[in-house]
Amino acid sequence: MDLSIIVPLLNEAESIPELYAWISRVMTENKFSYEVIFVDDGSTDGSWDIIEGLRADNPEIVKGIKFRRNYGKSPALFCGFDMAQGDIVVTMDADLQDSPEEVPEMVRMIREDGFDLVSGWKKKRYDGKLSKNIPSKIYNWTARKVTGLSLHDMNCGLKAYRRDVVKNIEVYGEMHRYIPFLAKNAGFSKIGEKVVHHQARKYGTTKFGLDRFVNGYLDLMSLWFLNRFGKQPMHFFGLWGSVMFVLCFIAIIVIGATKLYAITHGIRATLITNNPYFYLALTGMIMGTLMFLVGFLAELVSRSSQNRNDYKIEKELK
């Protein structure tokens, strides 16, 4: 099978028939063998009934997954990736803002140009909201700096992947925003970008609020830390805990030596216990010790993990 097209959705009953007809036309024109996997993330508007109807009419093409409640886009993609059987996997949103017309060129970039992943870039948006576009630009700039990936639109829903990519990454929580970074960490380094056409939403309202930018930043920091220190947390906590302890210990020695010097030379000096720097240094020593212990415990947890030696092996010669 050439393509698996995964469509996560939440309350998009009005869009589904039009989107499926659009996908079918593009796939037929380009002579692709394909499957469409709709993942209903707890819809309450009859979306699943429409998916069942499409399945009844097209049993060889349409597949579906229905969650009992709303879990989020990452779990929807995870289950879709698990079901996908195509050589190339395409993801797109169900709100008709992503154009299936872009898929053939993205497929060509993977097949002929050798990309592992091609991410869409909605260079010209039709959201019409500064409250959405400006935070999005800041978010993408931060993501480029942290991940080292030169993608202008990390969170674009329209992406194409080699099958190996989606079978070797784990999308959880709200990490769907950083699938290119997850792919890079899994060893898939050839990641490209394509400018794609963006359309204004035709039906309904967006399911995402401004809180996604706060959550996205926190998720980005989590991914960066896990990638850098996930296997060896002691290298972070132990190092900075030791540095903090040593610096604060030296500070206490300096405070004590200053007091001793004042006493031996008959100079009036503040009691050490009345010196605020003494308590700051003491607190720093305690925090440094706690950081070291956190690193030690995290190292024990890491070493006992069943996935500690889960390395992504591409080929073997035996």
Residues 143 and 238 placed together within one structural domain of the fold? no
For residue 316, being part of any structural domain is answered with no
Query: Which residues are 6's β-sheet partners?
Result: 37, 91
Residues 174 and 290 placed together within one structural domain of the fold? no
For residue 312, being part of any structural domain is answered with no
Residues 16 and 146 placed together within one structural domain of the fold? yes
Across residues 167-192, what is the average pLDDT?
A: 89
| 163: region left, alpha or beta (phi > 0 left; psi from -120 to 50 alpha) | alpha
Annotate 246-285 with three-state secondary structure: HHHHHHHHHHHHHHHHHHHCCCCCCCHHHCHHHHHHHHHH
pLDDT at 23: 97
Q: Which of 229, 251, 267 is the last residue of a domain?
A: 229
Q: Which of 209, 229, 249 is the last residue of a domain?
A: 229
pLDDT at 261: 86
Domain extent, residue 23, equals 3-229
CA distance 246 to 7: 54
Instruction: Name the average pLDDT for the chain.
Output: 86
Q: Which of 183, 208, 229 is the last residue of a domain?
A: 229
pLDDT of 230 higher than 80: no
Tokens 């220190």, located at residue: 229
Residues 195 and 241 placed together within one structural domain of the fold? no
- Report pLDDT digits (tens) over 71-82: 989 999 999 999
Residue 130 to residues 54, 152, 217: CA-CA distances in angstroms? 37, 17, 19
Q: What is the CATH number of the domain that holds 32?
A: 3.90.550.10
Alpha helix (H) residue ranges in 38-120? 47-57, 73-83, 103-111
CA distance 162 to 188: 10
- Report pLDDT digits (tens) over 113-152: 999 999 999 887 766 555 556 667 777 788 888 888 889 8
Residues 211 and 288 placed together within one structural domain of the fold? no
Residues 171 and 99 placed together within one structural domain of the fold? yes
Tokens 């800041």, located at residue: 138
Q: Which residues contact 46 (CB under 8 A, 6 or more apart)?
A: 13
Annotate 175-186 with three-state secondary structure: HHHHHHHHHHHC
Tokens 């194409």, located at residue: 160
pLDDT at 133: 64
CA distance 91 to 103: 10
Angle of CA points 157, 171, 9, to nearest 5°: 45
Q: What does DSSP say about strands 117-121 and 191-195: parallel, antiparallel, or unpaired?
A: parallel
For residue 16, being part of any structural domain is answered with yes
Number of domains in the chain: 2
pLDDT at 42: 93
For residue 296, being part of any structural domain is answered with yes
- Report pLDDT digits (tens) over 257-272: 988 888 888 888 778 8
For residue 139, being part of any structural domain is answered with yes
pLDDT at 11: 92
Across residues 38-59, what is the average pLDDT?
A: 94
